[in-house]
Structure 1
């Protein structure tokens, strides 16, 4: 445990305390500082404050930096499909069937377990069970994910997600023949009040959700589409496509029971683009459709 004492100067008057502290030490991210403040590890003139406290000249600030929380997630050697990596970010192509981070019932075999064996420098903003994880895709969805290797990168990538500047394009096969070449689904998503494990379009305790789609090819009873996320809600594409009457092929939660022979939903996060947190260069990556997805698509074409 480290204890650091600071004093506010006249020039720093009215600066938010979380900004003041993150500026003081470039190694402290603003998110991390906010956590310390909420935990009571930051005091001003011997009193706890809120994250929006405005510093005043001669304020005496004491920061108690707790010892790092031991990471109780086991590193596991895996053959990860890394598309890009540098000191700040990593882009990985997650296979279908892999859970992104540990949770009750899935404490091993997750992407995080593999990432921890691959590299030790992952951001800690999301805690010990989700180091480096900026966004997620479902277990049975394959495709590209960006991973933060430090808190600076994590904050930048999260800001880009919030500002809707990250490119996330998915390929999907849905039931039914969509007659419109393209469209936008703007419908809020929240927890299903009956089935708490499912999401649904609702105005109750919901969040804005926007999905754009383009038809790639139509078949007798199926459509091959590309969906672009503007927001990133849990199960968003799966819920939205069901909402407009075209549920995903193979989706065990939101689709019909009788479907094509595929393990889980036919959904692939194929294109991912973002601004590099340090260089500010726009990077974009594309992962091809996995074999199982291609085989189902070929079967549909042959039947058509």
Structure 2
């Protein structure tokens, strides 16, 4: 038996297009800030002069910006150790926040696939994807910049190469693009539904149907801006799911996302009365024994790499922490079954 839960949305195709983020390929007018080297700056190293007299960044940060081409000397790219002369003209290009991030090689980056313009990674749980208030350091972006220095695009944003995002406590497959053009191509694939994502979840309670569709719009919660909620005026959101296993107090589910709204799976399953196990924001705070985070895993990803043009599917199994929770629940079911048969 299949289940379908639908809702209304006032959104129209035109309004969705109007509110969509601009394509990374759209031309941007970049106006540099000009600075003339003062007489007392003569014979100083460029990086030392910038940190002492221009300020805004540390000397090491200015070195990284010079390497990224964000500072021009007399119309030319140059090196941090270049000695200045009075009257030299510096052009300081607008600097994206991520351009001064310190690459961190200690952040794990588990690469499953890589070509000239694309990387598919397996993100561990507990890792924030990009810097945000409260998480300025130790993010996946810091690790990516150490592993792939070419991601340092000074005209971009604080999430270089990130095509889509996973929550901190969600593990599994993610796409990272190495070039601005690849970001644009992959985002268009996503908007056209050509990138298919499947997740594994454990949700509270027993879902009686074998499969179902949750088709209700999602928007920002009116009372808590940190949360999302089902709203009639929200953006269209559709989740397709099938039941994999029924366990004591829980249901193990495979879910696909034709759309990709923030917290979509967590909001949708809470909406139908089956919140994700271990979800501290939308669900019951207590999960099954041994579960230390929300049970959401990005299991499978199908996309067309821009370089080859041939569709590929990637898959990664449940990490040990989630697999052990399933095994424990399956063992409990076995004990209960044996008791019932006595």
Q: TM-score range by the shorter chain?
A: 0.7 to 0.9
2:236 maps to what in 1? 208
Work out whether residues 189 and 236 of structure 1, in 8 Å CA contact, stay in contact via their aligned partners in 2. yes
Describe the SS at the equivalent of 1:276: coil
| Counterpart residue number, 2:269 | 241
Contact 2:95 2:155 in 1 (8 A): no
Corresponding residue number in structure 2 for 1:288:
317
Residue among 80, 95, 106 paired with 2:109: 80
Partner of 2:131: 102
* Residue of structure 2 in register with 1:190 after alignment: 219
User: Is it true that 1:144 corresponds to 2:144 in the alignment?
Assistant: no
Distance 1:203 1:236, change over 3 A: same
TM-score of the superposed pair, with normalisation by structure 2: 0.69
Higher RCO (C-alpha under 8 Å, 6+ residues apart): 2
For 1:6, the equivalent position in structure 2 comes to: none
TM-score, normalising length: structure 1: 0.78
Q: Distance in 1 between matches of 2:23 and 2:237?
A: 27
1:116 corresponds to: 145
Counting matched residue pairs gives 250
The residue that corresponds to 1:35 in the other structure is 28
* Alpha-carbon shift at residue 40 of structure 1 (Å): 8.2
Where does residue 93 of structure 2 map in the other structure? 67
User: How many Å apart are 1:95 and its aligned residue?
Assistant: 0.3
Contact 1:134 1:158 in 2 (8 A): yes
Tell me by how many angstroms 1:264 deviates: 1.9
Instruction: Write out per-residue CA displacement over residues 257-285 of structure 1, whole angstroms, 9 at most, x where no aligned residue.
Output: 23223222100001011011122111211
**What is the alpha-carbon distance in structure 1 between the residues aligned to residue 305 and residue 130 of structure 2?**
23
Matched with 2:252 is: 224
Gaps of 5+ in 1: 1-28, 42-64
- 1:22 aligns with none
Distance 1:303 1:159 in 2: 45
Shift of the 303–220 alpha-carbon distance from structure 1 to 2, 3 Å rule, reads: same
Question: Measured at CA, do residues 89 and 257 of structure 1 come closer, stay the same or move farther in structure 2, by a change above 3 Å?
Answer: same
> Which structure is higher in helix share?
2
Match of 1:7 in 2: none
Q: 1:240 to 1:183 in 2, by over 3 A?
A: same
Give the unaligned 5+ runs of structure 2. Answer: 1-21, 33-90, 334-342
